[in-house]
Structure 1
C-alpha cells in the first residue's frame, strides 16, 4: 500500500479588498511560476516554516503537493534547551496554573517516570471526559468545567497536564489522510533519546465508548489502548503545535464582530479578527486576518475561515474504497429483491457482493477481524446456496 497522499489546498479571498493569511509551508511544496508567493517566510520553534501572504480581492492561494503519511520515526530524538522551554510553555488553550499542576500531580502520584505519568494522564482523560462536536467552548479551562469537548479539548488538556509535570508535549494539528476537510488534532510527548511519542485521547475515548462510530468509514482504527504510543498511520500534519506566534505581528481589532463568535475559555473570540496574544489558536491549515467590515463579516462561512482541502490516497486504496461503496449498494439492493422474489441468481449476487465488500475492508486494513468473520460467514452461506 502506498505511504504517500496528495494534498490539495485552496483559499480564495472573495469578500475583502485585502486580507492577511498565515500557514505552515509543507516540506514537499514546490512553487511554480503561477503560484502565489509568500510575502514572508520564517522558521518557527517547531522546526517548520511559517509563511505570510497578503491576498487582494479575488486572489487565490492554491497548493497541491504529495507528502508521506505522518510518522514520528524521523523526528529528532533530543531537544535543545530552547525547544524544551517552547514545549513546556504556558498558553491560553493549555494553561499551566495551580489547578492544572495540582490535578497532574494527583493523577500521577504513584508513577515513577515520565512515560508512566503520561500513560496515567492518558487513562484519566479517556475515563473522565466525554467527546462532543462541536464543543461548547475551546480551551482547557472550559473543558475542566463541563468535561465535554472534541479532539481539540482532549489534546489541549493532555498537553497542559504533561507540561505541568515538566514533560515536553505538543498539540498536533492535522487531518485524516483521505477525503475532504477531515480535520483532527492529537498529541505527542517527548522522552529523551526516544523522541516524540504519539497519543490520541479522543480516538481512544471513541473506540472505547463508541466502537462502531467508524465502522463503515475509510479510517483504520486501533484498539483504544493502542492510541497511547501509536497511530494507525493515516494522518497528515498541518502544524506541530497550537498557539504559534504570528509575524508580522497580529493586531486585534478593537471592535471585533461576527454573528456567531466561538468561545475560548468561555469568552467570545472572533476568528479572523482576534488572536491569542499575537498567536493563532491553531493553524488548520491557516489563520487569517480580515479587514473590519461588519456587513461582510456576518456572511463568513468555513471556506472563508479555513479554506478547503482534499486529500487523495494513492495506489489501490481509492479503487478499493469506491468498490466497497459500489458493492454495498448492489448487495443491499439485490438482497431486498431476493427476499421479495425468492430468486436464486439474486441470492448469489448479493452474497457475492457482500464478500467483495468485506474483502475491500480487509485489503484496506479496516476492521480486519470483524470483516474477516463476516467474510467467512458470507462465504459459507454462498457455498450453501450453490450446493
Structure 2
C-alpha cells in the first residue's frame, strides 16, 4: 500500500460580479496552490485557517496528497484549553440539561469513559434513522425528528459525549473517491488511547441498510467496528464544527432570495450570508461571504458559489482497479444483455470473463470480499464450463 494513495483537488472560481471573501483550512503538504492567503490564523484545532479575497474571475486551486485516514498515534495529552474547547457548548452540538439527562439515561451504571461513549454510539445507531437531506440541521432538530444525515448523527454524538465530560470533535471531510462526496464523523479523546475514530452514521447504515454500499468503492465493515476505527478511505478537511472565522465574519445586512436558506434548529440560516455567532457552521472545505446587497437581480447562486468544488482520486493499483470496475461492469452487463437476445458461445464467454474480472477487482480491493469471493467462485466455475464447451 502506498503511503499517499489519494489526490485531493479543490477549486473555487469567483464567477460573480463582486469580490468574495473565503475561509479555508490550509492542508499540509500542498503540491499546488494558485493563490496565497491574505491572512493566516492558527485554530484551536491545530489547523491553519487561510483567509482569501477573490476578485471577479479569480481562481483558487489547491492540490495535495493524503495518506489513508487514521486517528491512531495522536496520544499527546490535551492542554486545559484544548480540553475545554472540545467540551464546549455550541449551537449545533449543545451541552445542556436535556443532553446531560439523555446521556446519563443511556449510560446508567457505566463508569468508564470509553464504555460510556460506546453506549451512546449504540444508542444513536439503534434509535435514529439516516435521511438526506435532513429537514433541519442541529441536535435540537435531530432529537425532534429522529432522522438526519451524517452531520446530524455526528452532532448528537458530540453533544452527548461532551455532556459527560468526554472531549469530542466532529470531523468534516470527503470520501476518497468521487466528486463532492462529503462526509462527517467523530473522534473522541481518551486519556489512555488518545483520539479514536467513531462513525455513527456509517454504523447506522451498515446495521439497517446492508445493501446500500454493495457496488461502492468503499471498504465497509461490520457496523460495530465503526466505534474505534474506520476503513481509512476518507480525507479530513476540518476538525470540528463552528470554528470561529478570522478575520471576523460580518453578516450581510440583507438576505438574497438567490440563496435558498437551510434550516438550523428550525430557523432559517443563509449560507454565505451569515455566521453562527462569528463561526462557520462547518468547513467542508470552505466558507464564503457573498455581498447579497450588490447582487444583480438575475444572479443565480449554486453550490459551487457557496462551497467550490472538490474531487478525490485514489492512485496506484487501487485507483487502477477502481477504474477497471467501471469499465468491466459496462462490458459485462452489455454483453450479457446482447447474449440474452442473440445467444452466442463467444458472447457468453466474454460476459462471464468480464464478471470474473469484475469480482476479482472487488476482492483485491477488499470490498465485501467474502460476498464477492462467493460470486467469483460461482462465475469462475460457470466460465470454465463455457470454455470446455468451446474447446
Residues 112 and 262 from structure 1, CA distance in 2 versus in 1: closer, same or farther, beyond 3 angstroms? same
Alignment of 1:130-149 (within 5 A): 130-149=129-148
In structure 2, the residue matched to 1:283 is 283
1:300-379 matches, cutoff 5 A:
300-379=301-380
> Which has the higher mean CA deviation after the structures are superposed, 244-253 or 137-146?
244-253
| Paired residues, number | 385
Task: Spell out the pairing of 1:52-201 with structure 2 (5 A cutoff).
Answer: 52-201=51-200
Is 1:266 aligned to 2:266, yes or no?
yes
Q: Partner of 1:316: helix, strand, or coil?
A: helix
CA contact (8 A) 1:16 1:291 kept: no
* Offset at residue 380 of structure 1 (A): 1.2
Moved more, 22-31 or 141-150: 22-31
Contact 1:16 1:290 in 2 (8 A): no
> In 2, distance between residues paired with 1:18 and 1:339?
59
Q: How far, CA to CA, are the matches of 1:296 and 1:354 in structure 2? A: 53
Q: Deviations over 1:221-261 (max 9, x none)?
A: 11111111110010110001110001111121232233520
**Does the residue aligned with 1:163 lie in a helix, a strand or coil?**
helix
Once the 2 structures are TM-superposed, how far is the Cα of residue 342 of structure 1 from its aligned partner? 2.9
Residues 19 and 55 in structure 2, CA contact (< 8 A), matched pair in contact too: yes
Distance 1:290 1:165, change over 3 A: same
Displacement, 1:297? 8.9
Secondary structure of 2:44's match?
Answer: coil
Q: TM-score, normalised by structure 1?
A: 0.96
Match of 2:46, SS state, is coil
Aligned to 1:247: 246
- Cα distance in 1 for partners of 2:356, 2:45 equals 46
CA–CA separation in structure 1 for the residues paired with 2:341 and 2:58: 57
In the alignment, structure 1 residue 13 sits paired with structure 2 residue 10: no
Query: 5+ residue gaps in structure 2?
Result: none
Separation in 2 of the partners of 1:102 and 1:16? 50
Deviates more, 1:342-351 or 1:18-27: 342-351
3-state SS in 1 of match to 2:292: coil
1:167: Cα distance to partner?
Answer: 0.2
Q: Distance in 2 between matches of 1:202 and 1:327?
A: 31
